[in-house]
Chains A and B, each alone.
Chain A
Amino acid sequence: MENIQDSQWPLWEVFIQSQPGTPYKHAGSVHGPDKSIAMQNARDTYFRRNEGTSIWIVPSNAIVASDPNDSDMLFDPSNDKAYRHPTFYTMPEGALNI
């Protein structure tokens, strides 16, 4: 995809980890002229209320996104393959986070 340029500084995507060991989740984006200031902006924008313990920032133009026109090809074939979901097993009682 084309990188969307606006009148401000380069755009960075912000990923935050809420607790050690958990996956990073996309929080949003910030502007920043360099990685150090972008990191501070990410902290000030998304970490004001104790949201997490770690931050990743990635230049937005480094993200490769799938083309919406390819959605049929990419996603539809998995629609009717219920056997790929592990829903046929009985879960032991007390097993968490599986």
Chain B
Amino acid sequence: MSMKQNDVLFLYTLRLADDALILGHRLGEWCSKAPILEEDLALTNIALDMIGRAEAILRYAAEVEGKGHTEDDLAYKRPERKFYNHLLVEQENGDFAHTIARQLFISTFEYHLYTALLKSSDENIAGIAAKAIKEIKYHKKHASDWCIRLGDGTDESKVRMQTALNDLWMYTGELFETDEINEWLHEGGIAADLSKLEGPWKTDIVDVLGQAKLTVPTSGYMQTGSRKGVHTEKLGYILAEMQYLQRAYPDAKW
């Protein structure tokens, strides 16, 4: 592989890894604070799935980068503008309904993305996808069941669930945004064709919201920026907390 191809693959692996890393951090924030003990375990279990996936992809990313970095270097020493997670996953947990709306949008997206990546010509990515897809199926079911339960629940849970879906809808357009990095790697059989994921994603969302007796948001206004490393103000706070130790005590070990 030429240098340029490796640079492009490096950016692509960061996109995959950062979604898992940042969402894992967000879900971990529920630890000890979830509405009920069982849900505390469920959300932090999902967080651990995410951190595990982030670790595996960042390890591969470091190998692709070829500069002698480790997965920890990439997680704890990269500046904000070099993070490529979708804006959706860095949004705050909010109330339980907001967390479920975020989980529904992202896990449905990941289900279709990683199903496509099972056939990636890059055997590392295909291998990671094979492990991840089992976890993602569960995350998708968890979010879908809760969305239906809350939407078709009490007056208050219905309002909260609909509000959460409406609030986060503007971060869903970015999931299907493509650029030369994605297109080039897709042509090489490595990346998924994002334009083919939006239809199945929307079908699933419409199905779940239908069962939940909720309304699919129709606003066409979408936020964008993360493909170029431009984020909402929320990411800076996450990184400040996540990277504090390595920034204050570089290379600290225990």
Binding site for B on A (CB under 8 A): 8-9, 30-34, 36-37, 40-41, 44-45, 48
Query: How many contacting A-B pairs (Cβ < 8 A)?
Result: 30
Q: How far is the CA of A11 from the CA of B55 in the complex (A)?
A: 37
Number of residues on chain B facing chain A (CB within 8 A) = 13
Name the segment of B38-46, B173-181, B183-191, B215-223 touching the other chain: B38-46
Q: Which residue of B lies closest to A9 (CB)?
A: B36
Binding site for A on B (CB under 8 A): 36-39, 41-42, 45, 138, 141-142, 145-146, 149
B61 nearest CB across to chain A (Å): 28
Q: How far is the CA of A9 from the CA of B37 in the complex (A)?
A: 11
Chain B residues with CB under 8 A of A31: 36-38
B218 nearest CB across to chain A (Å): 29
Q: How far is the CA of A48 from the CA of B45 in the complex (A)?
A: 8
Chain A residues with CB under 8 A of B36: 8-9, 31
Contact B41 A40, beta carbon cutoff 8 Å: no
Additional A-B contacts beyond A30-B38, A37-B146 (8; CB < 8 A): A31-B37, A32-B38, A33-B149, A34-B149, A40-B142, A40-B145, A41-B41, A44-B38
Chain A residues with CB under 8 A of B41: 41, 44-45, 48
Q: How far is the CA of A37 from the CA of B41 in the complex (A)?
A: 13
Chain B residues with CB under 8 A of A9: 36
